[in-house]
Amino acid sequence: MWINHPRKKEPDAALTLSVYAFAACLLKFLGNGVTVGDFSFGTVDASLIAALLGPTLIAYTARKYTDSPDKKEV
């Protein structure tokens, strides 16, 4: 399921992946140390959060500021 870009109204891969990474970090943080049956959420540390959020948020931010709607092809 893709999330649409707010201005272009078309699917945006960078926005979608950054939202999914944020949701994964949030679930991991809320389930810190919880075990359900045979499945364990484990523990949360800064390197895990950075590994999930860092690349996708950096890519989205970079793309947001480089894909200017005012650019015109010459």
Q: Kindly report, residue by residue over 18-32, the tens digit of the pLDDT.
A: 788 788 777 777 777
Give 39's DSSP letter. Answer: E
Q: At what angle do helices 13-30 and 46-66 cross, to 10 degrees?
A: 160
CA dihedral (59, 48, 34, 31) positive or negative: negative
Q: pLDDT tens digits, residue range 20-72?
A: 878 877 777 777 766 777 776 667 777 877 877 787 778 777 777 776 666 55
Whole-model pTM? Answer: 0.55
